[in-house]
């Protein structure tokens, strides 16, 4: 038993493991970069780096082909910390090495935390428009809204992921009916049935209620391009105690929610870009797209926004421009784009509680390297002076 334990420890503290893992990391980066040609950056991050095992589809079946980023990074982290715990010695001579390794450990931890905690949303504002939520660029949700009250909405947001589990009854205390996903298309185009040209492939549409009954569904291949997004569609059947209330076709392509009445209340149903509500609101006062005089070459993009909180604690104007984001309430609002003939701004909203970690770790590593090389240089020059 003890021999096994020693073997276990020896494996995790060995330098050979470090070298092996570093070599695997280099290969991982190489393969992921090559795969980016087909998948785009988001899918590559999920497939190669934010996974334990890289699964590659061969003839429709996922086959494990390489250890993923979490696996390699995780083992590297364990290896580094274990080696330090085993061989740690508090001496000035080794302080530089320890700082460098400490920085590296922090860097790996930071990436793990970023992968787990970071969320990226976007906030689109027309000039004069106020919003207190941002929308996901990559994730969607089925919003079932109790619209009865004149001033407030009771929103039940069902993540898109749950719609892929066909036949699974989703029961939520806030809803007097159950929601059952019947079909799910990760990317699909919709058209009025009467407008479908001959030869356009369509799938069976069992929608019985709402606008969906008039639409034809054409599934599209999933896009991985960075500047494109998938527009999913789903068929959901609603069930009350008395039986089916109808099957609705929902899609992020349909921008107007579908309405119905049930149990004396008014409801809306929509598949929409996932929303993250904030306890404050932003109003776009003005978007500026400055160009160099006489040319179409952009010089600066900036958004003058007004930040307000309902309690009046904050009510101020902020200018957001390139490299000058607004940091507020744990979120960072970057100027990301514009639209609508320069009258709509697109802000990227990033939640990353661990954003400072890479800076701290780089600082630690710099100090460690300076210490280490400085000490060597000092020793060398002393020796030289003595000789």
Binding segment for another protein (CB under 8 A), chosen from 54-62, 291-299, 315-323, 349-357, is 291-299
The residue count of the chain comes to: 387
Q: Please, which residue, 152 or 323, has the CB nearer to another protein? A: 152
Minimum distance from CB of 247 to another protein (Å)?
Answer: 18
Residue 243, phi-psi category: left (phi > 0), alpha (psi -120 to 50), beta (remainder): left
Q: How many residues of this chain bind another protein (CB under 8 A)? A: 83
Please choose, from the candidates 115, 113, 133, 114, the residue with its C-alpha nearest in 3D space to the C-alpha of residue 123.
133
Residue 375 CB, nearest approach to another protein (Å): 26
Closest approach of Cβ 376 to another protein, in Å? Answer: 28
HSE, side-chain direction, 13 A CA sphere, residue 343: 6
Q: Please, which residue, 188 or 326, has the CB nearer to another protein?
A: 188
In the bound complex, what is the minimum distance in angstroms from residue 341's beta carbon to another protein? 4
**Minimum distance, C-beta of residue 194 to another protein, in the bound complex (Å):** 9
Q: How far apart are CA 144 and CA 138, in angstroms?
A: 20
Instruction: Return the residues of window 159-178 that contact another protein according to CB under 8 A.
Output: 159, 161-162, 170, 172-174
Window 330 to 349, contacts with another protein (CB under 8 A): 339-341, 343-344, 346
Interface with another protein (CB under 8 A), residue from 158, 234, 271, 331:
158
Task: Kindly state whether residue 323 participates in binding another protein, applying the rule CB under 8 A.
Answer: no
Q: 4-23: which residues touch another protein (CB under 8 A)? A: 5, 8-9, 12
* Smallest separation (angstroms) from another protein to the CB of 173: 7
Q: How many Cβ atoms from other residues are within 10 Å of residue 102's Cβ?
A: 19
Count other Cβ atoms within 10 Å, centred on residue 329.
Answer: 11
Beta strand pairing status for 53-58 and 61-67?
antiparallel
Backbone angles phi, psi at 105, to 5 degrees: -60, -45
User: With respect to another protein, which residue has the nearer C-beta, 171 or 324?
Assistant: 171
Structure tokens at 319: 């200018």
Query: To 10 degrees, what angle do helices 2-13 and 15-44 make?
Result: 60
Residue 286 tokens read as 């003005």
Q: What angle do CA 212, 135, 358 make, to 5 degrees?
A: 145
Encoding tokens for residue 39?
């998948």
* Alpha carbon distance 194, 382 (integer Å): 89
- Please report, as residue ranges, which positions from 48 to 67 form the binding site for another protein (by CB under 8 A): 52
User: Which CB, 182 or 343, lies closer to another protein?
Assistant: 343
Whether residue 141 contacts residue 275, with contact meaning beta carbons closer than 8 Å, is answered with: yes
Contact between 223 and another protein per CB under 8 A: yes
Cβ proximity of 282 and 121 under 8 Å: no
Binding to another protein by residue 253, rule CB under 8 A?
Answer: yes
Q: Please, which residue, 155 or 369, has the CB nearer to another protein?
A: 155
Specify the residue, 232 or 368, whose C-beta has the smaller distance to another protein.
232
What residues between 67 and 96 interact with another protein by CB under 8 A? 70-71, 74, 77-78, 81-82, 85-86, 88
**CB of residue 240 to another protein, shortest distance in Å:** 18
Q: What residues from 89 to 128 belong to the interface with another protein (CB under 8 A)?
A: 112, 116, 122, 124, 126-128
Rg (CA), the chain: 27
Q: What is the pattern of x (binds another protein, CB under 8 A) and - over residues 364-383?
A: --------------------
The answer for residues whose C-beta is within 8 angstroms of residue 193's C-beta and 6 or more apart is: 214, 215, 216
Task: With residue 360 as reference, give the H or E element that holds it.
Answer: helix 357-386
Burial of 218 (0-12, 13-18, 19+ CB in 10 A): middle
Q: Is 276 in the site for another protein (CB under 8 A)?
A: no
Q: Is 296 in the site for another protein (CB under 8 A)?
A: yes
CB nearer another protein, residue 72 or residue 372: 72
Q: How far is the CB of 281 from another protein (least distance, A)?
A: 10
């Amino acid at each position: 038993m003890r021999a096994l334990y020693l073997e276990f420890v020896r494996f995790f503290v060995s330098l050979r493991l470090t070298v092996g893992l570093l070599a695997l990391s280099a290969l991982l980066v190489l393969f992921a970069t090559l795969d980016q040609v087909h998948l785009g950056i988001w899918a590559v991050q999920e497939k190669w780096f934010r996974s334990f095992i890289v699964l590659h589809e061969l003839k429709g079946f996922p086959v494990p082909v390489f250890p993923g980023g979490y696996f390699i990074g995780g083992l590297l982290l364990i290896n580094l910390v274990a080696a330090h715990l085993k061989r740690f010695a508090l001496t000035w001579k080794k302080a530089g090495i320890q700082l460098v390794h400490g920085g590296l450990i922090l860097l790996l931890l930071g990436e793990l935390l970023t992968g787990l905690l970071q969320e990226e949303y976007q906030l689109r504002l027309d000039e004069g428009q106020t919003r207190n939520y941002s929308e996901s660029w990559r994730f969607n949700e089925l919003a079932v809204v109790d619209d009865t009250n004149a001033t407030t909405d009771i929103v039940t947001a069902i993540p898109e992921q749950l719609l892929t589990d066909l036949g699974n009854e989703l029961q939520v205390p806030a809803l007097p009916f159950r929601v059952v996903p019947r079909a799910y298309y990760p990317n699909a185009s919709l058209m009025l049935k009467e407008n479908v040209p001959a030869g356009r492939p369509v799938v069976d549409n069992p929608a019985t209620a709402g606008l969906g009954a008039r639409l034809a569904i054409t599934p599209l291949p999933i896009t991985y391009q960075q500047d494109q997004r998938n527009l999913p569609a789903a068929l959901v059947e609603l069930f009350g105690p008395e039986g089916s209330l109808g099957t609705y076709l929902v899609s992020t392509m349909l921008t107007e929610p579908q309405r119905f009445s049930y149990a004396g209340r008014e409801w809306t149903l929509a598949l929409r870009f996932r929303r993250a509500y904030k306890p404050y609101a932003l109003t776009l006062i003005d978007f500026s797209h400055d160009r160099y005089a006489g040319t179409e070459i952009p010089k600066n993009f900036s958004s003058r926004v007004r930040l307000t909180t309902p309690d009046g604690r904050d009510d101020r104007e902020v200018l957001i421009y390139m490299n000058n984001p607004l940091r507020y309430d744990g979120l960072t609002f970057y100027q990301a784009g514009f639209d609508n003939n320069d009258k709509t701004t697109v802000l990227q909203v990033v939640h990353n509680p661990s954003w400072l970690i890479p800076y701290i770790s780089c600082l630690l590593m710099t100090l460690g390297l300076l210490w280490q090389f400085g000490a060597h240089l000092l020793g060398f020059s002393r020796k030289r002076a003595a000789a």
